[in-house]
Amino acid sequence: METTYSLAFLTNLGWPEIVVILVVFILLFGAKKLPELARGVGKSIKEFKKATSHIEDDLRTAMEEEPAPKKPIETKQPAETSEKATSES
């Protein structure tokens, strides 16, 4: 039997669990370091959202643009003058 794990347990967090998590963070990193860590996480999330929205905008514009018409393939014709010059020599 396969066991699948999900993040559903995060939705069941109550106030006591959140307080315990905060206390653990304060003990691990110190009270002065927490605002700096939160700022770093906030900046990371902001950059991630900015990058994903930029990619989405690029995809939308690419889908809205009409494809450029295909040019016919040009083939080079053998130069007749060079063939005649070699056969006459």
Quick: pLDDT tens for 23-82: 898 888 888 888 898 899 999 999 999 999 999 998 898 888 777 677 777 777 666 655
pLDDT computed for residue 39 by the predictor: 93
What residue ranges do the domains of the chain occupy? 31-63
Helix (H) or strand (E) holding 49: helix 34-64
Cα radius of gyration rounded to whole Å, the chain: 32
> How far is 42 from 20, CA to CA, in rounded Å?
22
Give the model's confidence band at 10: pLDDT under 50 very low, under 70 low, under 90 confident, else very high. low
